[in-house]
């Protein structure tokens, strides 16, 4: 349940400290040793099986050869605002104006783009859409305890690698949390795993040729299920007893009060 946290830590160390952790056979062998996770009981949701409104974010592939699309949302949107951005290769968000977005009048999931000539399409790699949906979902908060295991027969090199690894993990905390997120989908079910915070708290030496840095991560998993054919339908008509009230009113509710 750690998402891509282990991959993100390994990639970060190899990228920032290539002389120690880079290459096919790194000078310092680094691995993530998962331990245990503890679920926050307060996050258990009694309404998890009920359809309700939720925010949805889709990251759709952008083709500069056909920038207009069409693009298709992963779920039917609920009535309300839809926010769309162009995402650059540098990770920046470029907001689109309403004139640049055209939704299909028949298929609510589909839209096209009419981008202005000032847009530099070479730096765009995706289209991000934020919208509201009706879904079945729950959020689970938990704490994950892990360890970064460093191995090398030279105790001096091992101690230096431990110090530098801690420096890299501390100073690249926001980047690490962002790249460690993961989204999974299988059939009607999905899971989105996010690292909310990472705390280093202890180090030890399991053997003469290894050092271990222990930390715990504050995690959140959002689990979702696709709606069935009979779920999440909006009320389109309310029927009342014929002959009661004003026939010009679309809805007339008769109220009885007992004294």
Q: Is 101 domain-assigned?
A: yes
Task: Give the number of domains in the chain.
Answer: 2
Q: Residue 36: in which H helix or E strand, if any?
A: strand 29-39
| Statement to judge: residues 57 and 130 lie in one domain | yes
| Statement to judge: residues 56 and 77 lie in one domain | yes
| Statement to judge: residues 70 and 101 lie in one domain | yes
| Statement to judge: residues 108 and 174 lie in one domain | no
| Statement to judge: residues 63 and 191 lie in one domain | no
The torsion defined by the Cα of 139, 126, 15 and 183, in degrees rounded to 10, comes to: 20
Q: Is 249 domain-assigned?
A: no
| Statement to judge: residues 132 and 145 lie in one domain | no
Model confidence at 49: pLDDT above 90: no
Per-residue pLDDT at 29: 94
What confidence tier does 250 reach under pLDDT thresholds 50, 70, 90?
A: low
Per-residue pLDDT at 35: 72
For the whole model, what pTM was predicted?
0.65
Model confidence at 256: pLDDT above 80: no
Q: Which of 71, 104, 136 is the last residue of a domain?
A: 136
* Residue ranges making up the domain that contains 115: 52-136
pLDDT digits (tens, 9 = 90+) for 58-72: 889 998 889 998 999
pLDDT digits (tens, 9 = 90+) for 186-230: 877 888 899 999 998 888 999 989 999 999 999 999 888 877 665
| Statement to judge: residues 123 and 162 lie in one domain | no
Q: Is 239 domain-assigned?
A: no
| Statement to judge: residues 145 and 172 lie in one domain | yes
Per-residue pLDDT at 45: 63
| Statement to judge: residues 146 and 129 lie in one domain | no
| Statement to judge: residues 176 and 74 lie in one domain | no
| Statement to judge: residues 206 and 96 lie in one domain | no
Residues across the chain: 259
Residue 100: exposure state from Cβ atoms within 10 A (0-12, 13-18, ≥19): middle
């Amino acid at each position: 349940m750690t998402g891509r946290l282990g991959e993100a830590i390994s990639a970060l160390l190899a990228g920032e400290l290539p002389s120690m952790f880079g290459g096919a056979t790194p000078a310092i062998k680094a691995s993530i040793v998962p331990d245990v996770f503890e679920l926050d009981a307060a996050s258990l949701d009694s309404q998890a099986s009920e359809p309700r409104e939720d925010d949805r974010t889709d990251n759709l592939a952008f083709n500069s050869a056909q920038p207009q699309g069409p693009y298709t949302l992963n779920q039917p949107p609920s009535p309300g605002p839809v926010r769309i951005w162009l995402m650059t290769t540098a990770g920046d968000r470029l907001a689109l104006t309403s004139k640049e977005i055209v939704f299909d009048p028949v298929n609510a999931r589909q839209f096209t783009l009419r981008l202005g000539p000032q847009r530099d399409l070479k730096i765009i790699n995706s289209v991000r859409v934020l919208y509201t949906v009706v879904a079945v979902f729950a959020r689970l908060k938990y704490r994950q305890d892990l360890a970064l295991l460093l191995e090398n027969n030279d105790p001096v090199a091992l101690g230096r690698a431990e110090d530098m690894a801690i420096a890299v993990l501390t100073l690249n905390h926001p980047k690490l949390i962002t790249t460690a997120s993961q989204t999974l989908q299988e059939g009607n079910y999905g899971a989105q795993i996010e690292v909310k915070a990472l705390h280093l708290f202890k180090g030890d030496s399991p053997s003469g040729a290894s050092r271990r840095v222990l930390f715990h991560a504050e995690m959140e998993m959002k689990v979702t299920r696709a709606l069935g054919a009979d779920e999440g339908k909006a009320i389109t008509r309310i029927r009342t007893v014929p002959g009661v009230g004003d026939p010009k009113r679309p809805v007339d509710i008769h109220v009885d009060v007992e004294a």
